[in-house]
Amino acid sequence: MADIGLQNSLGNFFSPSPILIAGPCSAENRNQVLQTAKALSQIGVKIFRAGVWKPRTKPGGFEGVGEIGLQWLSDVRSLTGMQVCTEVATGEHLRLALKAGIEVFWIGARTTADPFAVQSIADTFSTTLAASAPTSIAEALDATLTGALTAPEAALSTAASAAPSASASTSIAEALDATLTGASTAPEAALSTAASATPSASAPTSIAEALDATLTGASTVPEAALSTAATSTPTTLCCCSMDRIVVLVKNPVNPDVELWAGAVERFRNAGVKNIILVHRGFSTYDNGIYRNAPLWHIPIEMKRRYPDIPLLCDPSHMGGKRNLVQPLCQQALDLNYDGLMIESHINPAAALSDKDQQLTPAELKQVLSGLELRNNLRQDTLESYRRRLDELDENMLHLLSQRMELSRQIGEYKMQHNMPVLQSKRYGEIVESFSEEADRLGLSKEFARQLMELIHKESIRIQMKDRPLSNS
């Protein structure tokens, strides 16, 4: 999978791909947020997600803790070195999040479907953020902790090259585990950096040790670094700049590629340079086994239109169930997606929202260990076309099933009213209009006639099935 390398100063978090974003659906309390973040950091997650505002379909449910949750996210960043992201649905949400130093945001499916809401958020970006890049506390944290808490690209490359050459694929978890267990360790210089930034009697001997020390408070950012960042931060609404901002745009609830593209364009017009697409599935008449139907052809079309924009998969909202997360992740990786955004909660059974689709950090690690990066696949290869064909065929079967159910109901009505099953005039009209429409769509008239003949034959069989046999 190609290294997408977003062109901003947060590149260490978003490169190399596949990108992995994980965290709970909602920030419920400080303890839950920090426990989940610590556990995810220990398995190699570098970007932590949690919603503090939760737009719900109906009132009365848990709608998030609000502004106080932003401080918990700041604590996660300070204590673990992870980048953090949250959902914004209004311009006011964005202003508060920017003021708290948040630099990565996602736009939810309901918001993407509302051009007015998207424009309001885009306008807030353009009016709130300066074009220049001021020094921020987050930058000081990133610079101080990078050596100890993030694996350099060279380390990941070493882990990849150490894999057996006979293997055609590598596991995401292998790279993460290698980084944390020492199979793929950071260079000594990085550990020296961590040691010099750690006001402790002894220097850490591994990335994992530095991580643990940071999470327990033993390894903290020197006061001087924070002081310098604080004094250089303008006394404006926020200390971020447009160069550091990343906006993840989820697909709209309804399967409308133009709405999704429209949201991207609105943020681009507002000056947002770093945009990521997130495919979380669509609400349709019949979602089948999924909470939100994948409809893979829509994100593939978005990738065709915007080849420079990374594409992530959100299997949690797509599947709606824990057992569907892994297969959906693998399908996305097979289609050359650039990463995954997965919900993970320290105790899903007690979650205040979406408990059925959230994994524990340990379960997430297990899911990742079963995924493979098949480097011989590209989204524009035969495999991606076949997947779309399979999806269309499945949709066609569902439509035929609905049509036959309607034919059965018509048959019952005819029987109750002593009407003949075959209506010759009606059938002739259907065949004629069907073949004409097929011709307009570039299909063979003969093919359309034969197809309708088969459909009609099955409809007659269904309608005749329940009719009593004649005694004559």
CA distance 82 to 66: 21
DSSP-derived secondary structure for 72-124: HHHHHHHHH--EEEEE--SHHHHHHHHHTT--EEEE-HHHHT-HHHHHHHHHH
Angle at 230 between CA 228 and CA 233, to 5 degrees: 110
Q: Output the pLDDT for position 16.
A: 65
Tokens of 444: 């063979």
CA distance 113 to 253: 6
Does the pLDDT value for residue 411 go beyond 50? Answer: yes
CA distance 333 to 365: 16
- Do 374 and 169 touch, CB atoms closer than 8 A? yes
Whole-number average pLDDT of the chain: 78
Does the pLDDT value for residue 261 go beyond 80? Answer: yes
Q: Output the pLDDT for position 463.
A: 84
CA distance 186 to 110: 41
Beta strand segments in 292-399, E: 311-313, 339-343, 373-374
Closest CA to 4 of 183, 131, 153: 153
Tokens of 421: 């099953």
Phi and psi of 238, rounded to 5°? -145, 165
Mean pLDDT of 73-88: 97
Range ranked top by mean pLDDT from 101-115, 371-385, 414-428: 101-115
- pLDDT tens per residue across span 292-349: 999 999 999 999 999 999 999 999 999 999 999 999 999 999 898 999 999 999 999 9
Q: Buried (b) or exposed (e) across 421-446, using 16+ Cβ within 10 A?
A: eeeeeeeeeebeebbeebeeeeeeee
Tokens of 441: 């769509």
Q: Omega of the bond prior to 18 within 30 degrees of 0, cis?
A: yes
Q: Output the pLDDT for position 295.
A: 92
Lowest mean pLDDT among 61-65, 91-95, 194-198: 194-198
Q: Output the pLDDT for position 208.
A: 36
Does the pLDDT value for residue 118 go beyond 80? Answer: yes
Does the pLDDT value for residue 184 go beyond 50? Answer: no
Burial grade of 20 (CB within 10 A; 0-12, 13-18, 19 or more): buried
Tokens of 342: 């997965």
- 48 three-class SS: strand
Q: Output the pLDDT for position 159.
A: 35
Q: Output the pLDDT for position 386.
A: 80
Tokens of 67: 């502004």
Confidence bin at 12 (pLDDT 50/70/90): low
CA distance 51 to 124: 19
Does the pLDDT value for residue 141 go beyond 70? Answer: no
Q: Omega of the bond prior to 16 within 30 degrees of 0, cis?
A: yes
Closest CA to 237 of 77, 129, 84: 129
Measured on CA atoms in the order 208, 346, 21, 387, is the torsion positive or negative?
Answer: positive
Q: Are strands 373-374 and 83-87 parallel, antiparallel or unpaired?
A: unpaired
Q: Output the pLDDT for position 285.
A: 76
Does the pLDDT value for residue 363 go beyond 70? Answer: yes
Q: Output the pLDDT for position 63.
A: 84
CA distance 329 to 312: 10
CA distance 128 to 138: 18
Q: Output the pLDDT for position 39.
A: 98
CA distance 68 to 170: 40
What percentage of the chain carries pLDDT values higher than 70? 69
Q: Output the pLDDT for position 11.
A: 59
User: What stretch of H or E contains 433?
Assistant: helix 424-440
Q: Output the pLDDT for position 421.
A: 79
Q: What is the DSSP letter of 381?
A: S
